[in-house]
Each structure stands twice: as structure tokens, then as C-alpha cells.
Chain A
């Protein structure tokens, strides 16, 4: 058991280091997230000037929502990126057979690597835009360490949900061969339903209630709400974390079922 944990730990560390080598790309990403942050901040100010309290946030909470989401986008691979394209390429070229022969669980192996990647993105592309946003605008960041700890737990669960969904995309390559189209559609959906364009609490009526129970809400909307605290205290936070954990379990389980079906399809050409 300890050996297994060590193995996946090493895979995660590898994922972290791999992305840490792309220094210029990370700097370029920080620049991009900061530029988008500034542009969106002004539109949020205009919107919350017109409608104070919209979606249950005051203006500084809305700005916090936006800057924290800029800090989480790359880690959660909400705008693409991540491992799924590489996974699909390995399926297409047949390299996936090598992965299947490793003395490790296929899903856990890729999860560890993706969490390593996400860990780097969180530090590399997350912290700086949030600090700049905090200096330039009036944000409502909490000061209690416990709140930040709960936020990190929620971010972790959100990353697992994001991985579990993208793992299904990766597996789709066993049937589709070319993943470009389905990846594009998945990105469309995640941009809209995660709360990246607008907080999901601003979405009107029954449609709003519907989007808040989808798995994409677990990736961005829920972690930011856990950080902001809101009313309702401990019970509400526990409910939020439970919601994320439930989606993680369901989607990881679904991934294992599809994986079993997919690996039965694999035919290794000898050589």
C-alpha cells in the first residue's frame, strides 16, 4: 500500500516538474489571466453598479469571484489543456498499450499525473493574478486560515471532478479516434457551466437551479463559494464539499466502467 502511494506520488511529482520547465509559457499564461482579469473586472463593476447584490454577491465579492476564477482556470483545465489530448494521442498511436502493461492502475496513474500538473498551475498561474487583482481592486478575501484550508480541500475535489470528466473524453478516443471535435464541445460546455463567464447564481430561474447541480459547478462555482463563506456557516460548507465528493465518486466510477469496455477493444499489433 505504501509502495503504491509512493508510485503515484512520484507520477504526480513528475507531472508537476514537467510543467515547471515551461517557464516562458507560464509567464505568458500569468500575463493572459491578468489581462482578462482586468477586462472582466470593469464589466463586473459596471454590472454590479447597476444591480448591487446580484447573484447574492456585493461588488467586492463579485470581483473576488472573478479573480479567484482566473486563478483556478488553468489548474482545472477549464479552457482546455490538461492531459486528455495526450491520452487521446496515445490511444490513436497505440502507445496506450504500454500504459496498460504498467503495474499501476490506468485511471489512478493519469489522475496522479494530472494532479501534479494542476498543482503547478495553481502555484504558477494562480497566485500572481490573484495578488495583482487584490492590489488593484477591492476584494473580499477571507482572513481566517480555516476558510482557506476548506477552500483548498474544495479546490482539490474540484480538480478530481475535472479530471474524471476529462478522463471520459480521453476514453472516447477508443471509439472516435480523433478527439478534436469532442474536446472543443467539452470546452464550450465547461466555459459556460462552470461559472467562468458569469457566476452561476446569476443564471435566471429554473435554468439557474439546473446549472448549479451539474458537475461543472463543482469545478469553479463551489470552490469560490466555499472561499467566500456566505451565510449558512459550517452546514453549508459541508454540503458544498459533499456535493463535490459525490460527483467525484460518480464520475470516477463511470470512468472505470467505460475504461473496462475500452480496454476490451484494444488489439495490440505485434512486431
Chain B
């Protein structure tokens, strides 16, 4: 899939095409800064606009936290009938649940609206973004910036805090303490890369936002349960193909002092930031190829 995207893009990247792209004439560093500045401006605009309907904003922020909270209530209902699930106790599962919820919430806040690109391609409104002097990805990501998604982040961190306070029998070392924030940010970066790759996929497939959702929301549903619950093949898939296991499973297993069911070496727990960096490369290449292959629907 990724290969096809790159191929499609390389056909278009003719020297003539490069010469007319003004963005490439600007030095690289300032393009990144330009992108961040544009992102900030658009996000601020959407925040002001959301605040027009203040009641609706508070309701939807609360709703955002409540949706995920009920998820956790369902897990608590499960634990009203059992003491362990896949050999894990409730606080241990809460650690998995809270960390992946916070990571996904963070990625969703910063990049979640990239999934709207399918409808933008369909109705032609992507065209206006291409002529603005701000990188398209920054515009697409900041489009309809939804501050209400702080709700999920807050809820994830709250559950994580509860888990940490319940797990006081753990031997907290400096490495384990540091692992928690690293796990959340690296996890958010991995989810973010999946979102960018999913957006790039929509240049090919059109209205396929839900495929992206099954890797992000679906991935998080899986990561909130212990890996011991799932079949080995599924574990291999989310470790080596779409490396979601690095979002929280592998770092959290290290914190909990539990073995990894696939028997990977211990140092993989520290590999999450590296994995996040590595998955962003193909995702951003796919995104570039997608934008270059884009042909407007016209009018």
C-alpha cells in the first residue's frame, strides 16, 4: 500500500513540477516554523469560534471525557465478576488503559482532524488550502481544531494517576518513573503517524476515514487490555507491522515488571521514541506523495 503511494507520487514529481512549488524555495527550517505558526493561528481561530456556543462546548468536553470513562466503567463491571483478566489485576489494566487513552487523546487533539481530508477531497475544498502559504498538513490538522478533546486526555491521566497510586507495591526506579511520560508522548507520536498515514491513504481511497479509526480508536481499545488476552499472530502484527505495541504495551510491561508474551529482549521497552520517529518517516513520505498526486475534482 505504502509503495503504491510513493510510486504514484514519484511520477508527478517532475522537475517542472518542482520549479513552480514556491514552498521548496524557502529554507527547510523556516517552513517548519511557518507550519507551526499557521497551525497555531488556525487552531486559535477555531477555539474562538467554539466558544461562541459555550454550553455546547462544555457539554461536549464533558461528553468526550465521559465516553472514555464509560469504557473504563465497563472494565470495572468486568472486574466485579473476576479478579484477573488475562492474569492482570484491575490497577494493572488501569495503567494500560490510562496511558493509551492519554496518548490517543493527545494525538487526537493535535492531528485528529486529518481524517476529514476525504470529505475535503470530495467537495473540492482542499484546493483553497493548496494555494495558501501554509503547509497543507498544518492546515488539515488544525482544521476544526477541537479543544473538547482535552476531555479524553484529562480522563486518561486521571485513570493513570489512580493506577499508579494503587500499584504502590511496585519497585519504582528512576527508569520506571521516566518511562511513564516518555510512554505517553511516544505513544501519541505513533498514533499521530498512523493518522497522517491514514490521511495520505484517503488520497487513494477517498472516503475511508473509518479505516484510520480502526487503527487509532480500535488500536487503543486493544491496548487497554493486557497482551496476554490476544492471539500471538495479532501481537506480532501490532509489534512488527503497525507498531502499536510500542504505544504502551512494551513500556508498561517493563514498568509492571512482567515478561513480554513474544519474548522480545528487555531493551525494547526503551525503543518507543525511536519507533515513533521511524514510523513518521513513511507516513510523511506517503503524505507528500498523496498531496503531489492530488488532482482536484474541478467544477
Cβ contact within 8 Å between A177 and B213: no
* B229 proximal to A (CB < 8 A): yes
Q: Please judge, given known A-B contacts A42-B234, A204-B80, whether A25 and B210 are in contact too, CB under 8 Å.
A: yes
Q: Please judge, given known A-B contacts A29-B210, A54-B81, A181-B57, whether A188 and B63 are in contact too, CB under 8 Å.
A: yes
Stretch of B22-30, B218-226, B282-290 lying at the A interface: B218-226
Q: Please judge, given known A-B contacts A36-B218, A39-B221, whether A198 and B74 are in contact too, CB under 8 Å.
A: yes
* A243 proximal to B (CB < 8 A): no
Q: How many residues of A contact B (CB 8 A)?
A: 38
Question: Among residues 48 to 70 in chain B, which have CB atoms less than 8 Å away from a CB atom of chain A?
Answer: 53, 55-60, 62-64, 66-67, 70
- Chain A contacts for B234, CB-based, 8 A: 38, 42
Q: Please judge, given known A-B contacts A42-B229, A54-B81, whether A181 and B211 are in contact too, CB under 8 Å.
A: no
* A191 proximal to B (CB < 8 A): yes
* B172 proximal to A (CB < 8 A): no
Cβ contact within 8 Å between B229 and A43: yes
* A192 proximal to B (CB < 8 A): yes
| Binary interface encoding of chain B residues 166-182 relative to chain A, with 1 for a CB under 8 A from any of its CBs, else 0 | 00000000000000000
C-alpha spacing A188/B59, complex, angstroms? 11
Stretch of B82-90, B98-106, B251-259, B270-278 lying at the A interface: B82-90
CB distance from A266 to the nearest CB of B (A): 21
C-alpha spacing A54/B231, complex, angstroms? 22
| Binary interface encoding of chain B residues 227-244 relative to chain A, with 1 for a CB under 8 A from any of its CBs, else 0 | 001110010000000000
Cβ contact within 8 Å between B81 and A32: no
C-alpha spacing A176/B70, complex, angstroms? 26
* B77 proximal to A (CB < 8 A): yes
- A198's contact among B59, B77, B221, B222, by CB below 8 Å, is which? B77
C-alpha spacing A45/B231, complex, angstroms? 11
Q: Is the interface of B mostly helix, strand, loop or mixed?
A: helix
- A28's contact among B60, B67, B86, B209, by CB below 8 Å, is which? B209
| Binary interface encoding of chain A residues 181-209 relative to chain B, with 1 for a CB under 8 A from any of its CBs, else 0 | 11011011001100001100011100000
| Binary interface encoding of chain B residues 117-139 relative to chain A, with 1 for a CB under 8 A from any of its CBs, else 0 | 00000000000000000000000
Cβ contact within 8 Å between B67 and A22: no
Tell which of B64, B85, B86, B210 has the most Cβ of chain A within 10 Å: B210
Cβ contact within 8 Å between A192 and B218: no
C-alpha spacing A54/B86, complex, angstroms? 16
C-alpha spacing A264/B214, complex, angstroms? 44
- B82's contact among A51, A182, A184, A203, by CB below 8 Å, is which? A51
Stretch of B5-13, B35-43, B200-208 lying at the A interface: B200-208
Cβ contact within 8 Å between B60 and A184: yes
Cβ contact within 8 Å between A28 and B208: yes
- A182's contact among B59, B78, B205, B207, by CB below 8 Å, is which? B59
Cβ contact within 8 Å between A24 and B60: no
Q: Please judge, given known A-B contacts A181-B63, A203-B77, whether A50 and B221 are in contact too, CB under 8 Å.
A: no
C-alpha spacing A42/B74, complex, angstroms? 15
* A46 proximal to B (CB < 8 A): yes
Cβ contact within 8 Å between B213 and A32: yes
- B85's contact among A50, A182, A197, by CB below 8 Å, is which? A50
* A123 proximal to B (CB < 8 A): no
C-alpha spacing A197/B75, complex, angstroms? 9
Q: Please judge, given known A-B contacts A32-B214, A188-B66, whether A181 and B208 are in contact too, CB under 8 Å.
A: no
Cβ contact within 8 Å between A36 and B221: yes
Cβ contact within 8 Å between A50 and B229: no
* A31 proximal to B (CB < 8 A): yes
Cβ contact within 8 Å between B82 and A176: no
- B53's contact among A35, A40, A178, A192, by CB below 8 Å, is which? A178
* B268 proximal to A (CB < 8 A): no
Q: Select from chain B the residue with minimum beta-carbon distance to A125.
A: B210
C-alpha spacing A28/B119, complex, angstroms? 14
- Chain B contacts for A38, CB-based, 8 A: 234
Cβ contact within 8 Å between B81 and A184: no
Q: Please judge, given known A-B contacts A24-B205, A178-B53, whether A31 and B60 are in contact too, CB under 8 Å.
A: no
C-alpha spacing A185/B67, complex, angstroms? 8
Q: Please judge, given known A-B contacts A50-B82, A181-B57, whether A24 and B206 are in contact too, CB under 8 Å.
A: yes
A-B contact pairs, 8 of them (CB 8 A): A25-B208, A31-B211, A42-B230, A42-B231, A181-B55, A181-B56, A185-B62, A188-B70
Besides A42-B234, A182-B59, 19 new A-B residue pairs in contact (Cβ under 8 A), listed by A number = A22-B207, A24-B207, A24-B208, A25-B208, A28-B205, A28-B209, A31-B210, A32-B210, A32-B214, A35-B214, A36-B221, A39-B218, A39-B221, A50-B81, A181-B53, A188-B67, A192-B73, A197-B74, A202-B77
Q: Tell me the B residues contacting A by CB distance below 8 Å.
A: 53, 55-60, 62-64, 66-67, 70-71, 73-74, 77-78, 80-82, 84-86, 205-211, 213-215, 218, 221-222, 225, 229-231, 234
Q: Tell me the A residues contacting B by CB distance below 8 Å.
A: 22, 24-25, 27-29, 31-32, 35-36, 38-40, 42-43, 45-47, 50-51, 54, 176-178, 180-182, 184-185, 187-188, 191-192, 197-198, 202-204
Top 8 nearest A-B pairs (CB, nearest first) are: A181-B59, A184-B63, A181-B56, A197-B74, A28-B210, A35-B214, A32-B214, A50-B82
